């Protein structure tokens, strides 16, 4: 930068300004600086800048997995919103809240401008670190009641409740196959939503009609379906509240020659039509994942710009998409 300044015949400070806020520098100077930069092949050192300013233009995102295409689309939304803004994305995965704490620590050591979290349960230390950092923190995995800072999401509870109500009204006895809810508020919320809908409908909840699977591994939905029906043959519909379980289950039904929805109705969480149009057969909850990622980023950047009136909580709605399977 020293070279650039000398060649352009200005001070380093002017070069710095021309780079970061061109509008505060006269057009002529700006041009001379640009020429000098091209002449020496100068590459801005954002690390030095970060040290001087005690913060970088890095936005950290702690996600859970990219194996699920719809969670990947949250990340895609964040990427798209962040592109061409001068910010960069730092991405980490956390499979547990302890993991998350470590990733948050690692991120914080790079003095990021903001942090986005997909998980909604955090260790006490993680919350403390984030609050102490003073940077915008956006939670995106669920519409949490008491966000650390900001929340941009949808209600997993409402979604599961609405879908269960839809199924119960239409088919009667509804089973539930979800992700292991221990340690994860999102899956807990879905489970609670299911139970709430049964309660409203005056249907007794039965443990044997509810299954939780440890992972979204391939084929899990088919086995779960078989287990559940063996225990409760009078089940007329099953709500697969996670991953690609519903799609697995549908394949299983076809294999066994069970009519869908005649013998059994099937509904899923997350609509994969946007990923594979050919999968547009399953009744599902459609959640605007991509938009949530985008908006979360926009909200964080708006806050960094010092904009006023930024809502602490941004709720996205979901849709129940009735299709052939329910």
Partner DNA sequence: TTGTAAGCGTTATCAT
Partner DNA sequence: ATGATAACGCTTACAA
Q: Where do contacts with DNA occur on this chain (CB under 7 A)? A: 1-2, 9-14, 16-17, 19-20, 23-26, 28-29, 42, 44-45, 48-49, 51-54
Q: Which residues contact 157 (CB under 8 A, 6 or more apart)?
A: 189, 190, 192, 193, 196
- Write out the binding residues for a second copy, residues 231-260 only, by CB under 8 A: 244, 247-248, 250-251
What token pair was written down for 9? 């015949």
Q: Which stretch binds a second copy (CB under 8 A): 82-90, 158-166, 233-241, 307-315?
A: 82-90
Q: Which is nearer to DNA, 8 or 279 (CB)?
A: 8
d(CA 39, CA 272) in angstroms, rounded, equals 50
The two beta strands, 319-321 and 283-286, are antiparallel
Question: If binding is defined by CB under 8 A, does position 35 make contact with a second copy?
Answer: no
d(CA 156, CA 162) in angstroms, rounded, equals 10
Q: Which of 93, 196, 302, 320 binds a second copy (CB under 8 A)?
A: 93
Question: If binding is defined by CB under 8 A, does position 51 make contact with a second copy?
Answer: yes
Least distance between DNA and beta carbon 300 (Å): 18
Residue 247 interacts with which of a second copy, DNA, none, CB < 5 to 8 Å by class: a second copy
Tell me which residues touch a second copy (CB under 8 A).
Answer: 43-48, 50-51, 56, 58, 65-67, 69, 72-73, 75-76, 79-80, 83, 88-93, 105-111, 129, 218-219, 222, 244, 247-248, 250-251, 272-279
């Amino acid at each position: 930068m020293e070279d650039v300044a000398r060649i352009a015949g200005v001070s380093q400070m002017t070069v710095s300004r021309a780079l970061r806020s061109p509008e505060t520098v006269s057009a002529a100077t700006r041009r001379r600086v640009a020429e000098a930069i091209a002449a020496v092949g100068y590459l801005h050192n954002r690390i030095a800048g970060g040290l001087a300013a005690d913060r970088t233009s890095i936005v950290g995102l702690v996600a859970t997995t990219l194996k699920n295409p719809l969670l990947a689309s949250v990340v895609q939304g964040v990427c798209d919103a962040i592109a061409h803004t001068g910010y960069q994305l730092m991405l980490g995965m956390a499979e547990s809240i302890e993991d998350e704490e470590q990733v948050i620590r690692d991120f914080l050591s790079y003095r990021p401008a903001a942090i986005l979290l997909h998980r909604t349960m955090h260790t006490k230390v993680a919350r403390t670190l984030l609050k102490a950092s003073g940077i915008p923190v956006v939670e995106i995995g669920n519409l949490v009641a008491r966000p650390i800072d900001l929340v941009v999401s949808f209600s997993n509870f409402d979604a599961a409740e609405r879908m269960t109500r839809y199924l119960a009204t239409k088919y009667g006895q509804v089973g539930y196959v979800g992700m292991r809810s221990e340690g994860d508020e999102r899956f807990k919320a879905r489970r609670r939503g299911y139970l709430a809908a049964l309660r409203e409908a005056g249907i007794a909840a039965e443990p044997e009609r509810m299954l939780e699977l440890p992972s979204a591994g391939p084929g899990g939905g088919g086995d779960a379906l078989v287990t559940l029906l063996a225990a409760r043959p009078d089940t007329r519909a099953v709500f697969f509240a996670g991953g690609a379980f519903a799609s697995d289950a549908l394949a299983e039904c076809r294999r066994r020659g069970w009519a869908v929805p005649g013998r059994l109705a099937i509904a899923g969480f997350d609509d994969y039509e946007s990923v594979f149009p050919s999968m547009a057969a399953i009744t599902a909850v459609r959640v605007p994942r991509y938009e949530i990622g985008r908006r979360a980023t926009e909200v964080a950047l708006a806050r960094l710009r010092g904009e006023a009136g930024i809502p602490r909580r941004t709720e996205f709605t979901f849709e129940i998409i009735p299709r052939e399977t329910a």
